[in-house]
Chain A
């Protein structure tokens, strides 16, 4: 027991800290214009770069030797392509084709962000390369949501002009109901980016906090010694369960983000739904 007492705390110490530590932004190199706002390259930027690099790696491998009868990785790439292509087609039809690259990029970015965040931190690594989930920051998910909704508004206004406002006066609604319906529609429209952003952010935040809290229990119980050390298996199994669930959530939230974007874009194509 004596040896574990010495080794385990040392091993657990950098990880078993504050469950919020994993969300901290750590500056890697500073960047600012005219001594103004800091646009520093941080661990968040680093993981965004990892997202782009892993997408680059995956799709390069998937498309380097294209064959009619696909190899393993090529068919994985094709599955991703056809999954999003079908989603876009099912929600928007043939007109949706122009938005396909955007939706695909959005899905890939969110999925990889969620997924890379599940990688475990290498013990003893400097704080800047601790495992970090880009999408666990509300500002990131909100920016992505604004990109989606901004595209909807931008396209809708450019394509339909004032006609885009029909979005707030659904066809088939009796005239006397419009004073009631229109404010509801406006509020529902304005809440779209908020709900998109908060849904993704909250899912990522909660999942990672739960994982970290459970991991803290394991550390505490192990170092407590005796029967309690044996009991540490319980939160350990909890971590395994939550971790598996987080894989599902990582995919599901990316899927939800992409399909909601598709549904909102459908409004831009046909405001008078």
Chain B
């Protein structure tokens, strides 16, 4: 960049030369615009170059790097903050996803546990019912057997009593003890007739 400035300065110095030449001709402006008084041109160009270059050096070496530095630093900082914010957002989204996952897992487990419990209870009820049914069945069967036994015994007792009665009646009527076979046959016949 400095090379370019030098190039510019060289051109301007050439201008000083022109001004000098103009003055050398003795062009003394009188009365007119002060701007056209060529005797002042060389001094103006000379001091302009000095102060312009001074200002250029101050700006390019000192102030512009400082201002540019802080602006760049701020841009960097803002970019970093944006990155950080994006990172935080990503983390928050991850946490939210994890939370949702955990929630749906818990829900699934709860419903599975509920289902299992329900199944288990149903199973137990079924088992208890089956056991009760079996027990009742057994008791009914036993009771029926007892009833059958009792009624058989009762029938036997009745038959015995009938035999005794028959024997006693026969004794009383014909004073003869009938044989057991005869009694049985008679009773069977009576039973058959009764039926």
Interface residues of A (CB under 8 A from B): 20, 23-25, 31, 36-42, 44-45, 48-49, 51-52, 55-56, 59-60, 62-63, 66-68, 70, 74, 77-78, 81-82, 85, 98-102, 104-105, 108-109, 134, 136-140, 142-144, 146-151, 153-155, 158, 201, 205
- 20 cross-chain CB contacts under 8 A: A20-B33, A20-B34, A25-B40, A25-B43, A39-B42, A48-B47, A59-B67, A63-B66, A67-B70, A68-B70, A81-B67, A101-B56, A102-B5, A108-B55, A140-B44, A149-B11, A150-B12, A154-B3, A154-B10, A155-B4
Within the complex, the shortest CB–CB distance from B2 to chain A, in Å, comes to: 10
By a CB distance below 8 angstroms, the chain A residues around B1 are: 98-99, 101-102
Within 8 A of A (CB), among B2-37: 3-5, 7-12, 15, 19-20, 23, 33-37
Quick one: given A48-B48, A142-B15, A147-B8, are A40 and B71 in contact (CB under 8 Å)? no
By a CB distance below 8 angstroms, the chain B residues around A108 are: 55, 59
Residue of B nearest to A40 (CB): B43
User: In the complex, what distance in Å separates the CA atom of A100 from the CA atom of B67?
Assistant: 13
* 6 closest residue pairs by CB, A with B: A154-B7, A150-B11, A101-B60, A45-B47, A150-B8, A59-B63
Interface status of B58 (Cβ within 8 A of chain A): yes
By a CB distance below 8 angstroms, the chain A residues around B40 are: 25, 38, 42, 44, 139
User: In the complex, what distance in Å separates the CA atom of A39 from the CA atom of B42?
Assistant: 6
By a CB distance below 8 angstroms, the chain B residues around A138 are: 35-36
Interface residues of B (CB under 8 A from A): 1, 3-5, 7-12, 15, 19-20, 23, 33-37, 39-52, 54-56, 58-60, 62-64, 66-71, 73-74, 77
Within the complex, the shortest CB–CB distance from A240 to chain B, in Å, comes to: 27
Within the complex, the shortest CB–CB distance from A246 to chain B, in Å, comes to: 18
Instruction: Judge whether A37 and B47 touch: CB under 8 Å.
Output: no
Instruction: Judge whether A137 and B59 touch: CB under 8 Å.
Output: no
User: In the complex, what distance in Å separates the CA atom of A84 from the CA atom of B83?
Assistant: 29
Residue of B nearest to A24 (CB): B34
User: In the complex, what distance in Å separates the CA atom of A85 from the CA atom of B64?
Assistant: 10
A20, A55, A101, A153 pick with most chain B CB within 10 angstroms: A101
Within the complex, the shortest CB–CB distance from B24 to chain A, in Å, comes to: 8
By a CB distance below 8 angstroms, the chain B residues around A68 are: 70, 73-74, 77
Instruction: Judge whether A146 and B44 touch: CB under 8 Å.
Output: no
Residue of A nearest to B53 (CB): A105
By a CB distance below 8 angstroms, the chain A residues around B47 are: 39, 41-42, 44-45, 48
Instruction: Judge whether A100 and B35 touch: CB under 8 Å.
Output: no
By a CB distance below 8 angstroms, the chain A residues around B20 are: 36-37
The one of A40, A52, A139, A151 in contact with B35, judged by C-beta atoms closer than 8 angstroms, is A139
User: Apart from A59-B63, A82-B71, what 6 extra A-B contacts exist at CB < 8 Å?
Assistant: A25-B37, A37-B42, A39-B47, A78-B67, A81-B64, A105-B52
